[in-house]
């Protein structure tokens, strides 16, 4: 396995693994049939395998799995990832603020940041930055604002590496 980022400081190096994702959209799914769910499950299975490979080689590895996973906290794809020993930081956000996307007036979590067990010691905060989902689509056409530059909100995570 190749990859990972290195952080140097205070006379030491610490490796941080980051797997960034954009899973298949739920756009084609209906209440009656989840057309794209099998694809997201397959994507989650692949990513879980990468995470398991990294953690098998180094059980204390600092690993982040993050991105637009296009699924909810209680979904099967997220269960696959948490089954690989990862924890979703969005669960640390109070429920009223726990969303990254608004669909027909319903606030949802589609963007996730999952961490390996040893990275909990480095975790400080997680905050969805509500600069997109809360604003109407009309903001997309205003060139001099960052608001509604996407339909998803960014998620800000603070880690204190090398404690």
SS3 5: strand
Alpha helices in the chain (DSSP H): 37-57, 76-83
Q: Are strands 87-88 and 111-115 parallel, antiparallel or unpaired?
A: antiparallel
pLDDT, residue 1, reads: 44
pLDDT, residue 2, reads: 47
pLDDT, residue 163, reads: 61
Structure letter (DSSP) for residue 145:
-
* Beta-ladder partners of 159: 123
Query: Tens digits of per-residue pLDDT, 23-35?
Result: 999 887 777 778 8
- pTM, full prediction: 0.85
Residue from 122, 156, 163, 140 nearest 10 by CA: 163
Instruction: Say how far apart CA 110 and CA 152 lie, in whole Å.
Output: 8
Instruction: Say how far apart CA 111 and CA 66 lie, in whole Å.
Output: 7
Q: Are strands 12-22 and 62-68 parallel, antiparallel or unpaired?
A: parallel
Instruction: Say how far apart CA 45 and CA 65 lie, in whole Å.
Output: 13
Residues of the chain with pLDDT under 50: 1-2, 8, 11
Instruction: Say how far apart CA 69 and CA 92 lie, in whole Å.
Output: 18
Question: Could you tell me the residue ranges of all domains in the chain?
Answer: 5-159
Instruction: Say how far apart CA 118 and CA 121 lie, in whole Å.
Output: 6
> Biggest alpha carbon distance in the chain?
57
Two tokens at 105?
């007036």
Q: Domain spanning 5-159 has what CATH number?
A: 3.60.10.10
């Amino acid at each position: 396995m190749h990859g990972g980022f290195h952080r140097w400081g205070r006379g030491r190096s610490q490796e941080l693994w980051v797997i960034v994702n954009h899973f298949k959209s739920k756009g084609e799914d209906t209440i009656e049939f989840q057309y794209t769910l099998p694809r997201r499950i397959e994507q989650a299975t692949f990513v879980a395998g990468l995470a398991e490979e990294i953690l098998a080689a180094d059980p204390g590895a600092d690993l982040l799995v993050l991105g637009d996973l296009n699924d909810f906290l209680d979904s099967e794809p997220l269960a696959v990832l948490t089954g690989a020993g990862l924890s979703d930081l969005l669960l640390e956000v109070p429920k009223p603020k726990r969303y990254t996307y608004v669909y027909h007036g319903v606030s949802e979590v589609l963007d996730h940041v999952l961490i390996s067990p040893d990275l909990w010691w480095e975790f400080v905060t997680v905050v969805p930055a509500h600069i997109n989902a809360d604003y109407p689509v009309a903001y997309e056409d205003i060139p001099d604002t960052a608001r509604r530059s996407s339909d998803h909100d960014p998620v800000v995570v603070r880690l204190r590496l090398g404690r």
